[in-house]
């Protein structure tokens, strides 16, 4: 059981028997009266975003979620398919459920699939993934306007800025939490 003082970003709670994740959070204490917690919550099943204000005396149930290790197989239009590494069962997530994680999904990547009442509703990526650069513009020495970085496209179609020494075909490590370049992978 959570108290209102436990609320923070990315906390998963259950409201009206549905799982929600807190995506934004503000605390305010008026001169008189109780402290208020203003939260923006996203329903983890249908993606609907709601605003709620909670008092300091409110309590919450943790979202009843399970995580299962699965391997990414492929996507077909707006559906992403994963295989349970223990029993080889396949599960499907929609593009809305996968969200920004699609930028980092490569074949055979192991991820954690979030389950609510045994139905897949979301995905948790590893913090870092190694991806190959498929397009990199040449860098012109002295091009200081770009701040010594250049845009590249990765094998998943994701675009980001990297140091100028990164060339097409290079494998790089990307932080999935921020979407930023971390380092070049030695092959």
Q: So what's the pLDDT on residue 64? A: 87
Supply the range of the domain harboring residue 116.
Answer: 65-124
Residues 6+ apart with CB under 8 A from 63: 12, 13, 14, 19, 20, 21, 44, 116
Tell me the CATH number at 32: 2.30.30.30
Number of domains within the chain: 3
List the alpha helices (DSSP H) in the chain. Answer: 95-98
Q: d(Cα 131, Cα 34) in Å, to the nearest integer?
A: 49
Q: So what's the pLDDT on residue 157? A: 94
Q: So what's the pLDDT on residue 122? A: 87
| CA-to-CA separations, 147 to 134, 139, 150, 163, 171, in angstroms, rounded | 22, 12, 8, 9, 22
Q: So what's the pLDDT on residue 30? A: 82
Q: So what's the pLDDT on residue 132? A: 96
pTM: 0.74
107 and 84 within one domain: yes
Q: So what's the pLDDT on residue 161? A: 93
Q: d(Cα 20, Cα 10) in Å, to the nearest integer?
A: 9
79 and 55 within one domain: no
Tell me the CATH number at 106: 2.40.50.140
All residue ranges of the chain with pLDDT < 70 are 140-147
Which of residues 45, 62, 79 is at a domain's end? Answer: 62
Q: So what's the pLDDT on residue 21? A: 87
Which of residues 62, 92, 113 is at a domain's end? Answer: 62
């Amino acid at each position: 059981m959570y108290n209102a003082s436990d609320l923070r970003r990315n906390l998963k709670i259950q409201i009206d028997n549905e799982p929600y994740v807190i995506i934004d959070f503000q605390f305010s204490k008026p001169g008189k009266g109780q402290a208020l917690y203003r939260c923006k919550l996203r329903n983890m099943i249908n993606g609907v975003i709601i605003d709620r204000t909670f008092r300091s005396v409110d309590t919450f149930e943790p979202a009843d979620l399970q995580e299962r290790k699965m391997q990414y197989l492929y996507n077909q239009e707006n559906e992403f398919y994963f295989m349970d590494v223990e029993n080889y069962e396949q599960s499907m997530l929609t593009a809305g459920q996968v969200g920004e994680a699609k930028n980092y999904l490569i074949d055979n990547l192991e991820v954690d699939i979030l389950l609510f009442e045994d139905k897949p509703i979301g995905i948790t990526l590893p913090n870092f993934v190694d991806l190959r650069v498929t397009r990199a513009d040449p860098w012109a020495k002295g091009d200081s306007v770009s701040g010594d970085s250049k845009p590249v496209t990765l094998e998943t179609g994701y675009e980001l800025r990297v140091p100028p020494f990164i060339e097409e075909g290079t494998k790089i490590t990307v932080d999935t939490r921020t979407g930023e370049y971390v380092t070049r992978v030695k092959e």
